[in-house]
Amino acid sequence: MPDTQDYTPPKVWSWTKPNGGRFENINRPTAGATHEKELPVGRHPLQLYSLGTPNGVKVTIMLEELLARGHKGAEYDAWLIKIGDGDQFGSGFVAANPNSKIPALVDRSGPKPIRVFETGAILMYLAEKFGELLPTEPAARAECLSWLFWQMGSAPYLGGGFGHFYAYAPSKMEYPIDRFAMETKRQLDVLDRRLADNEYLAGRDYSIADIAVWPWYGALAKGLLYGAGEFLSVQDYKHVLRWTDQIAGRPAVNRGRMVNRTFGEPSSQLHERHDASDFETRTQDKIGEAAAAEGG
């Protein structure tokens, strides 16, 4: 492990050893596929390749919101991509997302499949395709897109910065933890001030901006990310907490959170979703019961 307190970078960086962080087995300095593997394709127009992380659930929440509004064209198959096992480096996944990160969406409803990657792009694509959750009036639309892209630019400081150094790095280092705790608290304050005067991020109406921000900052405000609730005094961000609870009460949000989820209560985990009835019949508790009954 490098001595992080006193490190003189060489003239040219090279990848000589794993860095010791929690994700060292999947981190590498190159892109592209490591192995041949086609992606499965189900019967619905939309094929999602994902995992129930904060980035993944943005898209499953969006799809469940669209289905709740009666858009049959938003029916989807959600396939599990195990990033810890390196599934994101298979050739089929890389063809859907050259950046090798979940989630990736393939829209097969038209004559040629359309791939979309990066959650900001996926949320916008779906909002425009179905005419939902993205205001059309210019001022409201600008506000919505501003908060949507705020999330894209901000969350890497929360996850890759604060979360990495507070929870995942091989040792606790004061400088990066201090720097990113300050930035994370500043971001929470940005949201808190906005939500003090507005019900939702874009203003009066729930939108793709809330769907993008909630999985990260809602979870953070509830003390569910990185075990850092007390450290960051998250209870102080009262308006963020009000908004978090309001969104958590939406049935589509609760369904979306379950899809491709591989942790938590077995009844909250729907590893793959291929039909609306799967929420009732295919969660891990039910699959476990069925397997036990079959076994005897």
Binding residues vs ligand GSH (CB under 6 A): 26, 53, 55, 83, 88, 100-102, 118-119
DSSP three-state, residue 127: helix
User: Residue 198 or 268: which CB sits closer to ligand GSH?
Assistant: 268
User: Residue 104 or 252: which CB sits closer to ligand GSH?
Assistant: 104
User: Residue 22 or 179: which CB sits closer to ligand GSH?
Assistant: 22
* Distance separating alpha carbons of residues 159 and 94, to the nearest angstrom: 23
User: Residue 118 or 272: which CB sits closer to ligand GSH?
Assistant: 118
User: Residue 167 or 287: which CB sits closer to ligand GSH?
Assistant: 167
Say which residue the tokens 């997302």 belong to.
Answer: 97
| Closest of 278, 234, 176 to residue 168, by C-alpha | 176
Nearest approach, Cβ of 156 to ligand GSH (angstroms)?
A: 7
User: Residue 101 or 255: which CB sits closer to ligand GSH?
Assistant: 101
| Closest of 218, 255, 245 to residue 66, by C-alpha | 255
Nearest approach, Cβ of 53 to ligand GSH (angstroms)?
A: 4
DSSP three-state, residue 50: strand
Please give the DSSP secondary-structure letter assigned to residue 46.
Answer: E
Buried-state track 165-177, b at ≥16 Cβ within 10 A, e below 16 = bbeebeeeeeebb
* Distance separating alpha carbons of residues 202 and 101, to the nearest angstrom: 27
Please give the DSSP secondary-structure letter assigned to residue 230.
Answer: T
Nearest approach, Cβ of 210 to ligand GSH (angstroms)?
A: 15
Say which residue the tokens 């933890």 belong to.
Answer: 177
DSSP three-state, residue 170: coil
Nearest approach, Cβ of 282 to ligand GSH (angstroms)?
A: 23
Nearest approach, Cβ of 292 to ligand GSH (angstroms)?
A: 32
User: Residue 84 or 227: which CB sits closer to ligand GSH?
Assistant: 84
Nearest approach, Cβ of 141 to ligand GSH (angstroms)?
A: 20
Whether the Cβ atoms of residue 45 and residue 17 lie closer than 8 Å to each other: no
Conformation bin of residue 262: beta by default, left when phi > 0, alpha when psi is -120 to 50:
alpha
* Distance separating alpha carbons of residues 60 and 4, to the nearest angstrom: 39
Nearest approach, Cβ of 103 to ligand GSH (angstroms)?
A: 6
